[in-house]
Amino acid sequence: MAKKGKKQQEEGVLESAEVLADQLTKSEKFLEEHKTLVFSLAGLLAIVLAGYFGYKYYMEGQNTLAQDEMFQAVHYFEQDSLDLALNGDGNYYGFLDVIDNYGHTEAGNLANFYVGAIYMKKGSYTSAIPFLEDFSSNDMVVQARAYSLLGDAYMQQGEFSEAATYYTKAADYKPNKYFTPVYLMKAGLAYEKLEDYDNALKQYEKIVTKYPESNEADKAKKYKAELQSKS
């Protein structure tokens, strides 16, 4: 019985080898009949890969240039020289120049945030909004800050619904004990402006329950009590 089983296994292996050989023959025949198509696809793949890596290398170089150009603008921003930071000084780019010339880079993206922040400082809320909306980041602090600044811009213009939306986005973006309570407080105040007291109360409750050690906790308790006394 053992010999018979072994023989069947050997035959199975031989049969598998024959099937494999047949498949290889068919593959070779296909390649022979369609070699032009195969080589064309291989060439296209090579071009796509070359283009991808070439573009990646180009973008890395452009981002490095943009960072170099933006260095002085960041310095002016930190010195509160807002006009120089925005428009440059004749020798170095301002943030607007960086956006115009390197807007597709990471540095150009960050320049949008700086421009939005500058316009907010200058009280030009309408001008700030499109730049802050164009900014996008995975950074815990900066992206939430951009949402909050958008909330501030809409709040200053009396568009309380938009303000509440962006403050809520800021609070929901990678919550943390340092900044989230501030954004929740702003959201609560925006909802109060809308006379949406239920949602305002929810923001204050989140501060009290989730961030009791924050600087906003005492105010949240006060505002919460005031709203509850109205109901």
Give the pLDDT of residue 229: 87
Question: Residue 209: CB partners within 8 Å, gap ≥ 6?
Answer: none
**Domain endpoint, select from 106, 135, 164:** 135
Domain that holds residue 175: 137-231
Give the pLDDT of residue 57: 38
R_g of the chain, CA atoms, integer Å: 31
36 lies in the same domain as 129: yes
227 lies in the same domain as 189: yes
Give the pLDDT of residue 9: 46
Give the pLDDT of residue 58: 39
158 lies in the same domain as 122: no
Question: Is residue 167, in this structure, part of any structural domain at all?
Answer: yes
Compute the distance between CA of residue 127 and CA of residue 130 in angstroms, rounded to an integer: 7
Task: Quote the number of domains for the chain.
Answer: 2
Report residues of the chain scoring pLDDT below 50.
1-4, 6-15, 52-58
Give the pLDDT of residue 103: 84
Give the pLDDT of residue 65: 82
* H helices present in the chain, as ranges: 2-33, 35-78, 82-87, 95-102, 106-121, 125-134, 140-156, 160-172, 180-193, 197-210, 217-230
Q: How many residues are given for the chain?
A: 231
To the nearest whole number, what is the mean pLDDT of the chain? 84
* H helices present in 79-159, as ranges: 82-87, 95-102, 106-121, 125-134, 140-156
**Domain endpoint, select from 135, 159, 174:** 135
